[in-house]
């Protein structure tokens, strides 16, 4: 009997401690749609953040930016690394809802399959911010705002450089493409933007296109396979620097000179990529900024207070040639 009573007391205490996690504890007090609309009773804010993983230099810089900015903004961050798995992100979001955080932010690993869990957050009156990557949910009330790059535009910029670079050529230009994670917004959009621009001229031919999952190791592996089955590659378009850097190893391993025998375009502009650009191993980089932390924290404060925020906040970005990379390399933050 005594044992059963102790077990009941313990269960009660555990339930109380889960409910007390996060400053938005107490019914209806969390989130901008909640009754108080200001986070915890003392105005403090707890954010649950579900990160994609640590697949690239970009991702590492993005995690650092989010963690440092939360600290600076006085926001308590509950950080969860999904290791590139959607199921882990869904679990993390459910756990944030259970803990009654004040706001949830996440970078969705893929675009589809979020409606159910986002509905759960909405029913719990916890506002959600999409950061870096989009979801394809038809119901846009499931999240308050989307902060991040225009990936289609990034793909277009890559294509425009290529069109300009080969403007005097009438011969076929054989392109291989290393795509990002299958089903992710940057992979879908960078592919689409690039294809749209080069599609205007039939001399540009994508002869192979495969995912390298945004990692250096996979970029190298897939590029090795491309080189074996395609002796005549003119251009590599890699959806991020890391895959491009892996591919450079494969190209050098095959006895070719990256940047000369095979022209290389990548996206991101992280330090390692910029170094390779300055060294002439990459020819052009489209910037994708990972420094989303400060804007994310500002948006979080606003949505928790119930203030209006823009539905879409697009990150400002540029592009880099070899000369430009040499100029900015020493001051590059990531």
Site for ligand AHR in 15-74 (CB under 6 A): 55-56, 58-59
One DSSP character per residue, 148-187 reads: E--HHHHHHHHHHHHHHHTTT--S-EEEEEEE-STT-HHH
The yes or no reply on residue 177 touching ligand AHR (CB under 6 A) is no
111 binds ligand AHR (CB under 6 A): no
Nearer to ligand AHR, 51 or 137 (CB): 51
Cα(86)–Cα(54) distance, rounded to whole angstroms?
Answer: 14
Nearer Cβ to ligand AHR (39/53): 53
Residue pair 95/14 in contact (Cβ under 8 Å)? The answer is no
Give the nearest distance from C-beta 243 to ligand AHR in angstroms: 8
Provide the pairing of β-strand 128-131 with 145-148.
Answer: parallel
Does 132 bind ligand AHR (CB under 6 A)? Our answer is yes
- Interface residue with ligand AHR among 29, 240, 266, 322 (CB under 6 A) is 240
Closest contact distance (angstroms) between CB of 187 and ligand AHR is: 9
- Minimum CB–partner distance for residue 247 and ligand AHR (Å): 14
Q: Give all strands of the β-sheet with 312-314 in edge-to-edge order.
A: 75-81, 45-51, 103-106, 128-131, 145-148, 312-314
Residue 267 touches ligand AHR, criterion: CB under 6 A: yes
- Applying CB under 6 A, does 131 fall inside the site for ligand AHR? no
Count of residues that bind ligand AHR according to CB under 6 A: 13
Residues of span 77-106 touching ligand AHR by CB under 6 A: none
- Binding pattern to ligand AHR, positions 136-175, x when CB under 6 A? ----------------------------------------
DSSP assignments along 225-285, one per residue = HHHHH-S---EEEESSHHHHHHHHHHHHHTT--BTTTBEEEEEE--HHHHHHHHTTSS-EE
Pick between residue 120 and residue 136 the one whose CB is nearest to ligand AHR.
Answer: 136
CB 148 within 8 A of CB 131: yes
- Among 49, 106, 161, 214, contact with ligand AHR (rule: CB under 6 A): 214
Q: Is 287 an interacting residue with respect to ligand AHR (CB under 6 A)?
A: no
Q: Decide: 89 and 106 in contact? Cβ < 8 Å.
A: yes
Judged by beta carbon, residue 151 or residue 166, the one nearer ligand AHR is 151
User: Residue 134: phi, psi to the nearest 5?
Assistant: -95, 165
Q: Which of 241, 244, 238 is nearest to 271 (CA)?
A: 241
Q: Which is nearer to ligand AHR, 189 or 234 (CB)?
A: 189
> What is the Cα–Cα distance from 38 to 57, expressed in whole angstroms?
35
Give the integer Cα–Cα distance in Å for 108 and 89: 8
The contact mask relative to ligand AHR for 294-333 (x = CB under 6 A, - = no) is ----------------------------------------
Binding footprint of ligand AHR on the chain (CB under 6 A) = 55-56, 58-59, 132-133, 186, 214, 240, 242, 267-268, 288
């Amino acid at each position: 009997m005594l044992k059963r009573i102790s077990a009941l007391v313990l269960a009660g205490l555990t339930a109380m401690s889960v409910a007390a996690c996060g400053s938005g504890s107490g019914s209806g007090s969390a989130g901008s749609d909640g009754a108080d609309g200001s986070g915890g009773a003392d105005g403090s804010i707890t954010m649950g953040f579900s990160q994609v993983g640590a697949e690239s230099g970009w991702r590492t810089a993005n995690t650092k930016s989010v963690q440092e900015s939360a600290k600076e903004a006085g926001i308590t961050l509950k950080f969860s690394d999904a290791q590139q798995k959607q199921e882990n992100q869904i679990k993390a979001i459910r756990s944030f809802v259970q803990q009654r955080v004040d706001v949830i932010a996440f970078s969705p690993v893929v675009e589809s399959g979020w409606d159910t869990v986002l509905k759960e957050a909405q029913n719990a009156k916890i506002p959600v911010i999409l950061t870096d990557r989009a979801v394809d949910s038809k119901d846009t009330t499931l999240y308050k705002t989307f902060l991040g790059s225009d990936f289609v535009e990034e793909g277009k910029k890559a294509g425009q450089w290529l069109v300009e670079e080969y403007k005097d050529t009438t011969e076929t230009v054989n392109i291989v493409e290393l795509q990002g994670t299958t089903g992710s917004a940057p992979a879908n959009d960078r592919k689409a933007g690039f294809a749209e621009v080069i599609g205007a001229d039939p001399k540009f031919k994508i002869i192979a296109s495969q995912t390298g999952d945004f990692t250096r190791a996979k970029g190298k592996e897939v590029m090795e396979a491309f080189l074996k089955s395609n002796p005549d590659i003119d251009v590599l378009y890699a959806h991020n620097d890391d895959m491009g850097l892996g591919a450079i190893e494969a190209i050098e391993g095959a006895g070719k000179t990256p940047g000369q025998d095979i022209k290389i375009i990548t996206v991101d502009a992280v330090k390692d990529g910029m170094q390779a650009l300055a060294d002439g191993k990459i020819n052009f980089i489209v910037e994708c900024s990972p420094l989303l932390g400060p804007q994310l924290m500002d948006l979080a404060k606003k949505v928790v207070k119930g203030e209006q925020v823009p539905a879409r906040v697009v990150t400002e970005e540029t592009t880099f040639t070899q000369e430009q990379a040499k100029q900015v390399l020493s001051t590059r933050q990531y």
